[in-house]
Structure 1
Amino acid sequence: MRSTAVTRSTLRQQIADALREEVLAGRLKAGQEFTVKEIAEQYGVSATPVREALVDLSAQGLLDSVQHRGFKVHEFSVADYRGMVEARALVSEAIFRGIADRGTGPLADAMGSVRRRAEEAQRAAIAGDLNVLIGYDLRFWRELGSLYGNPYLSDFLHRLRVQAWVFAVPYLRRAHDLEGRLWSGHTELVEAVASLDAAGAYAIVSAYNEHSLALVERLAR
């Protein structure tokens, strides 16, 4: 009985992860509708873990339940995006200040991995490789946020970043060439955090947010 529950839980997570990737890649587009049956047939699984995965994604704000019809990909607006950027700035500031207050001890073991993620994300951003960037960028911020040690804050920041990417991706994909146009200050941010420079880290993120808003709003027009 326990083994069956674990298997279903794992399958539920795998389906949720796969569908999230579909949304982030733009293959599932904003407003697109689908049913539990369609997804179950697509992945060759039963309806139960699919329904649970779709409910999970709805709770994360990525899907909407459509009564008697199934689910659809949530449609974020430019105003929503501005709100996401503002919220993630506030959460980031709290994390940076918390890390600075705790000192260098807890950082020692984790900074190597965070730096590697930063370098990978930065290379993809400079090259304008959106597909590679999204994955590395989400992992980078996930690890950076976890340095503070508060999973509620880091999970909230991760959710905001996923939602922001979901909104921005369709507009970014319309651009002919993203090389040199995406924010690429990941390593600079890591060094500020490693130096316990909370104000410097927040200034970097503030400049990043202004850049992101300006770019996406320009493309959305």
Structure 2
Amino acid sequence: MPGNSGTGAVTRSTLRQQIADALRDEVLAGRLQPGQECTVKEIAEQYGVSATPVREALVDLSAQGLLEADQHRGFRVREYSLDDLRAMIEARGLVTDGMFRLVAEGPKAFRRPDDPHIRTVLAGVRRRGEEAQRAAAAGDLTVLIGYDLRFWRELAALFGNPYLSDFLHRLRVQSWVCAVQHLRRRADLRGELWSGHTGLVDALAAGDAAAARAIVAAYNADSLALVERLAAGA
């Protein structure tokens, strides 16, 4: 019956997204290493589901740049180089510069940050930032990544362009995937990870695009320098 067919489609779509999210988290947690292979059969057995939503989830992750498809061996976690990370960070900077230019053009371009609703949303973003900062101070990389991704996704959504928000989110996921293989080599990351989230929110709430750019530029430079040191064995 049509009703049952629709319910089945929704359920499969939801399962597909859940599997994709779970596998992405496995990569970000370092439990799936760069170059590691995974097959539809293995993942389906691991999660106790049919092959179809697993295959669709793996294809989705390949499209997002987290996996690479191999016609004969299934999929493997994509291996990124330091040059890839440098390019990602450069791209992130170009996107955020464009966002912050809207702030400099005036309140209307930034979806009226003086509006009570926008202030409420900004407060929520700031809370995500506070959680991210606590995780960074504790050196808890897994918790930091989760809150950091939510922080940037919600912050980008304030600018009213879903394509920009999705593109920045994809870049941030990919750059984390690239960085974690190096960051997890250090047992104690306390004091090493960026914790400027609330300062960035405050700068944007005040309409200070120059300060926001400076915060992000310093963040990008420091993050890249840390990964480069770790990659060099320092």
- The alignment partner of 1:109 has SS state of helix
Check conservation: 2:103, 2:208, Cα contact below 8 A.
no
Check conservation: 2:130, 2:198, Cα contact below 8 A.
yes
Residue 29 (structure 2) aligns with: 25
1:203 to 193, 214, 233: 214
1:82 to 83, 86, 97: 86
How far residue 48 of structure 1 moved from its aligned partner, in angstroms, is 0.4
Gaps of 5+ in 1: none
1:152 to 141, 163, 173: 163
Q: Matches of 1:97 and 1:107 in 2, distance apart? A: 18
How far residue 132 of structure 1 moved from its aligned partner, in angstroms, is 1.0
How far residue 177 of structure 1 moved from its aligned partner, in angstroms, is 1.5
Kindly name which structure, 1 or 2, has the bigger radius of gyration based on alpha carbons.
2
Q: What is the RMSD computed on CA atoms of the aligned residues?
A: 1.1
Deviations 1:13-68 (A, max 9, x none): 00000000000000000000111111111111010000000000000000000112
- Does residue 1:213 correspond to 2:224, yes or no? yes
TM alignment of 1:104-143, pairs within 5 A: 104=113, 105=115, 107-143=118-154
How far residue 97 of structure 1 moved from its aligned partner, in angstroms, is 2.0
Deviations 1:80-135 (A, max 9, x none): 00000000011011112224432423622311101100110011111211111110
- The alignment partner of 2:34 has SS state of coil
User: Stretches of 4+ moved more than 3 A in 1?
Assistant: none
How far residue 199 of structure 1 moved from its aligned partner, in angstroms, is 1.5
TM alignment of 1:94-113, pairs within 5 A: 94-100=98-104, 101=106, 102=109, 103-104=112-113, 105=115, 107-113=118-124
Gaps of 5+ in 2: none
TM (normalized to structure 1)?
0.97
TM (normalized to structure 2)?
0.92
Deviations 1:155-181 (A, max 9, x none): 111111111111111211111311111
Match for 2:22: what amino acid? A
2:200 to 180, 184, 189: 189
